Amino acid sequence: MAELFGKETGTSHGRGGSMHMFDANLRFMGGYGIVGGHLPLAVGGGWAVKYHKQKDVVFCMFGDGATNIGAFHESLNMAKVFHLPVVWFCINNRYGMGTPVEAASAVADIYKKACAYDMESIQIDGMDLREVMLRTSEIVEKTRHDSEPRFIEALCYRFKGHSVVDPDKYRSAEDKEKFRKADPIVAFEHELEKSGLADEEYFKNLRQEIDAEVREIIQYADESPDPKVDDLYKYVYADQWENRPELKSEPV
Instruction: List residues binding Mg ion (CB under 5 A).
Output: 63-64, 93, 96
In the bound state with ligand TPP, the residue whose beta carbon lies nearer, of 63 and 85, is 63
CB 41 within 8 A of CB 72: no
In the bound state with ligand TPP, the residue whose beta carbon lies nearer, of 29 and 232, is 29
Span near ligand TPP by CB under 6 A; candidates 89-97, 121-129, 215-223, 241-249: 89-97
- Residue 147 CB: number of other CB atoms within 10 A? 18
Span near ligand TPP by CB under 6 A; candidates 95-103, 133-141, 206-214, 219-227: 95-103
Burial of 186 (0-12, 13-18, 19+ CB in 10 A): exposed
Separation CA 177–CA 167 (nearest Å): 17
User: How do 95-96 and 99-100 pair as beta strands?
Assistant: antiparallel
**Hey, what amino acid is at 226?**
D
CB 108 within 8 A of CB 95: no
Q: Which of residues 143-162 bind ligand TPP (CB under 6 A)?
A: 158, 162
- Does position 97 interact with ligand TPP (CB under 6 A)? The reply is yes
Listed in sequence order, the residues at least 6 apart from 193 whose beta carbon sits closer than 8 Å to its beta carbon are 199, 200
- Does position 63 interact with ligand TPP (CB under 6 A)? The reply is yes
Among Mg ion, ligand TPP, none, what binds residue 33 when CB lies within 5 to 8 Å by partner kind? ligand TPP
Which residue number places its CB atom closest to Mg ion?
Answer: 63
In the bound state with Mg ion, the residue whose beta carbon lies nearer, of 84 and 152, is 152
Q: Which residues bind ligand TPP (CB under 6 A)?
A: 33-35, 63-66, 69, 93, 95-97, 158, 162
